[in-house]
Amino acid sequence: MGAIERENQFGAHNYEPIPVVLTRGEGVYVWDEAGNRYIDMMGAYSAVSHGHCHPEIVKTIAEQAKTLGVVSRAFYSDKLGIFLQKACEITHQDKALPMNSGAEGVETALKAARKWAYTVKKVPENKAEIIVCEGNFHGRTITIVGMSSEPQYRSGFGPFAAGFKLIPYGDAAALEKAITPNTAAFLVEPIQGEAGIVVPPAGYLKKCEEICRKNNVLLICDEVQTGMGRTGKFLACEHDNVKPDGVILGKALGGGMLPVSLFLSRKDVMDVFTPGDHGSTFGGNPLSAAVGITSLNLLQKEKLIERAAESGEYLMQSLKKIKSPLVLEVRGKGLLVGLSINPRYYSAREICLMLLKEGVLTKDAHQTVVRLAPPLIITKEQLDQVIAAIAKVLQKCESQASVKQE
C-alpha cells in the first residue's frame, strides 16, 4: 500500500492534501519519495518560518531532549522564565502564559478577557461579550468554531458557547456600534490568513485601538499566523503602531518543529488568573521553552523580519507584473501573500496542482486564493524560480481557459 492510500484508509478525512508524499526537508526545500525537490511556498501554514530542520533548532531539541523534556507546571524549570521574558520584551507585553497549539492560545485569551471583564471591568456575571470579525479563523475548538462565520467550520458541531458577536472585518465603525457596557474584548487578526490573505484598509487597527481604549474594551490581536516576522514586522499590528492589550503567538514560535503558543498581555489582564484557574500539561515544558528561545533568537540573528519585508515586497511587485486575466488580485504583506484567482476559469487548487509539477509546493486558501507563505529565509533567486513557475502555469491556464470558454 502506498503512503497516500494508507493515510486515506486509516486516517480521518478532515484534510484534502495535495497528492505528494514528503520525506525530507532542508531550508526552503522539501523532497518527495521519488527524490523530487520542491520549493515550499506553504511553510506549513506559516509554522515553518526558519526553514525546515533549521540546524540550531535541531541542536536545541537534541540537547534539551537529552537534558530535560517535560516536568509539567507542577514545578519550575530553568528554561521557562527565560522564554517568557524574551517573548514579553519583544512584544512589549508584561506577562505571558504558555500553551501548545494556536487554538489553545486563543482559548486562553478568551478566558482572560472574560475574567478581566467580571473582576476588573465589573460586567455582570455571565454577561461578558467578545466581538470577533466575519471571515475570522482562530482555530478549531468548539468555542472557536462557534464564533466563526464560516458554515463549514460550524456545521454539525453545535451547540456553541454564547457571548460572541460578529461584525464585518475592516470596518471600525461597525466595532464602535457593536460595543456595549458588557463588551470585554475585540479579538482580531491584523491580516485574515485563512480567509484568503485579507488585508484590512490602512489605519483600521489604529482606529480599532482608539475605539477600544475609549470604551475600556481589550484589543486582542491573534498573531498566530501574522506574528514572528511573517509580515515584515515582529507583530503585524506594529505596521499600524498599535499596542494591543493581548497578543496570541503560535505556529512559527515552535521553530517549525514543535507546537508552542503564548498568550501575552498587560499585567492587570494576566493577573486575573490565579493558581488552578487554567493550565496545560505540556504548555511551557522545558523542551518547548528551549525551542521558543532559539526560535525568537534566530529571528534577530538571521534578520528574518527584515528579510520578510524585503522579499515580500519583491514577491508582490513581481507578481503584479504578471498580467493575467486569471489573476483578480495580488495582496498581502511581507511573506504572507495571496494570489486571488478568477473562479470562473480555475480553482486555486487546480493552480496549486499545476505548480506542484513545476516544483513549487503550496495550497489554496479559501478555494480562490493561492497562498504564498514560504520560510522567511527564502532567497531572491528562489523567489525568481517561483515567480517564473507561476507565470508559466498562468500562461498555460490562459490558453486552456480560452478553450474552456468556447
Ligand X SMILES: *Cc1c(COP(=O)(O)O)cnc(C)c1O
Give catalytic residues, as residue numbers. Answer: 137, 222, 251
Nearer to ligand X, 225 or 231 (CB): 225
Question: Could you count the other beta carbons within 10 Å of the beta carbon of residue 134?
Answer: 16
- Which residue, 116 or 137, has its beta carbon nearer to ligand X? 137
- Ranges within 298-337 binding ligand X (CB under 6 A): none
Give the burial class of 100: count Cβ atoms within 10 A of its Cβ; 0-12 exposed, 13-18 middle, 19 or more buried: buried
- DSSP 8-state secondary structure symbol assigned to residue 284: T
| Residue 49 binds to ligand X (criterion: CB under 6 A) | no
Smallest distance from ligand X to CB 47, Å: 8
Count of residues in the chain: 406
When the beta carbons of 237 and 393 are compared against ligand X, the nearer one is 237
Which residue lies nearer to ligand X by CB, 248 or 390? 248
- Interactions with ligand X, residue window 92-111 (CB under 6 A): 101-103, 106
Q: How far is the CB of 139 from ligand X (least distance, A)?
A: 4
Residue whose CB is less far from ligand X, 225 or 265: 225
Indicate the SS3 state at residue 273: coil
Q: For the CB of residue 140, give the shortest distance to ligand X in the complex, in Å.
A: 6
Nearest distance from C-beta of residue 234 to ligand X, angstroms: 16
Query: According to the binding rule CB under 6 A, does residue 225 interact with ligand X?
Result: yes
Q: Indicate whether 189 belongs to the interface with ligand X (CB under 6 A).
A: yes
Angstrom distance (rounded) from CA 94 to CA 278 = 18
What is the Cα–Cα distance from 72 to 104, expressed in whole angstroms? 16
Stretch that binds ligand X, among 77-85, 221-229, 239-247, 352-360 (CB under 6 A): 221-229
Question: Which residue of this chain has its Cβ atom nearest to ligand X in the complex?
Answer: 102
Q: Which of the 8 DSSP states describes residue 192?
A: B
Angle (CA) 232-238-244 rounded to 5° is 140
Choose among 195, 192, 171, 185: nearest CA to 247: 185
User: How far are the Cα atoms of 100, 107, 148, 252, 279 from residue 257, in angstroms, in the given order?
Assistant: 12, 22, 28, 9, 22
State which residue, 103 or 218, has the beta carbon closest to ligand X. Answer: 103
Sheet-wide strand order for 29-32: 22-26, 29-32, 37-40, 360-361
> For the residues of 36-79, what is the DSSP string, one character each?
-EEEESSHHHHT--S-BT-HHHHHHHHHHHHH-----TTS--TT
Pick from 80, 145, 217, 224: which binds ligand X (CB under 6 A)?
Answer: 224
Residues 16 to 45 in contact with ligand X, rule: CB under 6 A: 45
Q: Which of 253, 231, 235, 234 is nearest to 244 (CA)?
A: 235
Single out the residue of 329, 349, 324, 330 nearest to residue 401, CA to CA. 324
**CB under 6 A: which stretch of 87-95, 156-164, 220-228, 333-341 binds ligand X?**
220-228
* Nearest distance from C-beta of residue 225 to ligand X, angstroms: 3
Of positions 246, 250, 312, 334, contacts ligand X by CB under 6 A: 250
For the bound state, the minimum distance from the C-beta of residue 368 to ligand X, rounded and expressed in Å, comes to 18
Greatest alpha-carbon pair distance for the chain in Å reads 70
Q: Name the grid cell of 127.
A: 454577561
* Nearest CB to ligand X, comparing residues 108 and 294: 108
| One residue of 193, 338, 374, 375 binding ligand X per CB under 6 A | 193
The rounded Cα 265 to chain-centroid distance in angstroms is 18
Min separation Cβ 32 and ligand X, Å: 24
SS3 state of residue 76: coil
Instruction: Print the binding letters for residues 128-157 with ligand X: x by CB under 6 A, - otherwise.
Output: ---------xxx------------------
Number of C-beta neighbours around residue 403 at 10 A:
8
Question: How many of the chain's residues bind ligand X (CB under 6 A)?
Answer: 16
User: Can you give the binding site for ligand X, defined by CB under 6 A?
Assistant: 45, 101-103, 106, 137-139, 189, 193-194, 222, 224-225, 250-251
